[in-house]
């Protein structure tokens, strides 16, 4: 009886997800940061879920490669600017987020094995902080616009 | 031939029965196994959703500071599927109710949990980004900045 009760009422799935930190809302006193055009990596997702980076259409896998290349060349000042349409699907957006996380993970892993000769997961907190400082996650997300160009 | 028949019958009766003395032990072992590896389903989910999959997902701790936000299509009582709706833990909310609801949940937590306040966003993979962006905006307003985009692992 107890066995059947547990089989029916419980579930086995473990929680998994992409952990992200949202920026706080601008409070009006902050000045918008001006970023020079050459530092911006523009990732765009249009209403038909077509992914493009700096104007060229690519897959999430290729996006990771492209980001690794671009961020490695400009680790301190790059900005990944994500732009989505209101009608693109969450799944496509999720794959973009996943590709970005993968790019940063790969870069940090590389740096960890270069500097400390061990994977990032086995580095001490100080070492990790040094790596994170070298490859900070600089991501900017703009609020998707309405299709008619209306801002809110 | 006639002589052989009773011999056969005696053999069939002589089959030893299975010893069932260890059966309760087995059942208790399985019971304890399930008690250890599973957990109770905590929210009654009123929406139909299927989370997307990604390769970089991390295991997320289940602790009291996690609030689940479900976004999916409404499941009506008569079985048909309605429009998109938002559910926080086990109650359905509308977009403007989201901020007061999160604030209420946060203030009901102990202080050490309030610092680790995390939102686990379980959204259907076909949800339009407009709705997700609106929810994220409300989360920013409620100062719930730690979020986890829930997903399944894909290799």
Number of domains forming the structure of chain B: 2
Q: Which residues in A lie closer than 8 A to residue B59 (C-beta atoms)? A: 14-16
B51/B24 same-domain check: no
Q: Which domain holds residue B28?
A: 4-37
Q: Which of A3, A22, A85 sits opposite B30 (nearest CB)?
A: A3
**For residues A143 and A150, is the Cβ–Cβ distance under 8 A?**
no
Q: Which two tokens stand for residue B2?
A: 């006639």
Evaluate whether residue B27 is within a structural domain.
Answer: yes
Residues B61 and B133 in one domain: yes
Q: Are A18 and B54 in contact (CB under 8 A)?
A: yes
Question: Chain A residue with minimal CA distance to B148?
Answer: A19
B86 and B32 share a domain? Answer: no
Q: Are residues B81 and B51 in the same domain?
A: yes
From first to last of its 152 residues, what are the pLDDT tens digits of chain A?
777 777 776 666 667 888 888 888 777 666 666 777 788 888 888 888 889 888 889 888 899 998 898 888 888 888 888 888 888 899 999 999 999 999 999 998 888 888 888 888 888 888 888 888 888 888 888 877 654 333 33
The per-residue pLDDT for B3 is 52
Question: Are B60 and A87 within 8 A, CB to CB?
Answer: no
Q: Which residues contact B85 (CB under 8 A, 6 or more apart)?
A: B46, B47, B71, B72, B73, B74, B92
ipTM for the predicted complex comes to 0.76
Distance from CA of A105 to the nearest CA of B (A): 9
CATH for B87: 3.30.420
In a domain, B42, yes or no: no
Do B25 and B96 share a domain, yes or no? no
- Residue ranges of domains in chain A: 36-141
Looking at the structure, do residues B128 and B108 belong to the same domain, yes or no? yes
Minimum Cα–Cα distance from A145: chain B residue: B130
B83 and B139 share a domain? yes
Q: Are residues B51 and B94 in the same domain?
A: yes
The set of residues, in sequence order, having a beta carbon less than 8 Å from that of B101 and lying 6+ positions away, is B88, B91, B93
Q: What does pTM read for this prediction?
A: 0.77
Same domain, B71 and B118: yes
């Amino acid at each position: 009886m107890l066995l059947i009760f547990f089989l029916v009422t419980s579930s086995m799935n473990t929680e998994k997800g992409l952990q992200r930190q949202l920026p706080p809302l601008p409070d009006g006193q902050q000045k918008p940061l001006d970023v020079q055009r050459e530092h911006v990596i523009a990732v765009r997702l249009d209403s038909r879920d077509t992914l493009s980076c700096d104007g060229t259409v690519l897959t999430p896998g290729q996006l990771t490669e492209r980001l690794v290349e671009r961020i490695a060349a400009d680790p301190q000042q790059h900005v990944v600017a994500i732009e989505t349409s209101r009608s693109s699907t969450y799944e496509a957006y999720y794959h973009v987020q996943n590709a970005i996380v993968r790019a940063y993970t790969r870069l940090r892993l590389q740096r960890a094995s270069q500097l400390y000769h061990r994977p990032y997961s086995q580095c001490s907190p100080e070492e990790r902080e040094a790596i994170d400082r070298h490859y900070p996650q600089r991501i900017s997300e703009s609020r998707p616009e309405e299709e008619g160009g209306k801002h809110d | 031939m006639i002589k052989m028949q009773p011999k056969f019958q005696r053999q069939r009766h002589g089959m030893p029965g299975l010893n069932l003395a260890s059966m309760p032990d087995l059942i208790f072992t399985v019971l304890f196994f399930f008690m250890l590896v599973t957990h109770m389903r905590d929210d009654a989910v009123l929406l139909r959703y299927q989370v997307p999959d990604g390769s970089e997902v991390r295991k997320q701790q289940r602790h009291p500071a996690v609030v689940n936000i479900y976004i999916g299509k409404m499941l009506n009582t008569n079985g048909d599927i309605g429009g998109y709706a938002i559910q926080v833990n086990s109650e359905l909310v509308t977009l403007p109710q989201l901020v007061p609801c999160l604030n209420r949940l946060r203030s009901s937590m102990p202080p050490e949990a309030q610092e680790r306040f995390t939102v686990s966003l379980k959204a259907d993979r076909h949800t339009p980004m407009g709705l997700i962006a609106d929810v994220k905006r409300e989360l920013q307003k409620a100062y719930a900045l730690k979020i986890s985009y829930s997903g399944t692992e894909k290799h």
